[in-house]
Amino acid sequence: MARRPDVFDREAIGAALRTHGCPEAYVDPYLGDFKLFVPLLFRRLGAEKVLELVNDARLELGLKERDTYWPEAAKYFVGWATDALDAYKASKGLAT
């Protein structure tokens, strides 16, 4: 089975930012912000919208249908995102 590429590889993301015209001075700060963007998106979308997004992209990405797995995974990813953002806020002394 072919492995999926590591879309979260820091060097690859930095290279992609540069390819799309990101000034070098902003690459590192944007890479740091990316760590917040992913959980923010999951939390904001919620499990139902995440599942809808994955199902809508299924054919485009060549993914098999997962009637039982994906709904559970979406719920767990949203839970992870909420916990990650709560931990970030706590590290900054912000109310959770």
Question: How confident is the model over 34-82, as pLDDT tens digits?
Answer: 989 999 999 999 999 999 998 888 889 888 777 767 888 999 999 999 9
Global pTM exceeds 0.85:
no
Q: With 70 as the cut, is the pLDDT of residue 2 above it? A: no
- Spatial neighbors of 94 by CB under 8 A, at least 6 apart, are none
- Mean pLDDT to the nearest integer, 12-16: 95
**What is d(CA 86, CA 92) in angstroms, rounded to the nearest whole number?**
10
Per domain, the residue ranges of the chain are 10-91
Q: What pLDDT digit, counting tens, does each position of 17-44 carry?
A: 999 999 999 999 999 999 899 999 999 9
Cα 27 from Cα 45, distance rounded (Å): 26
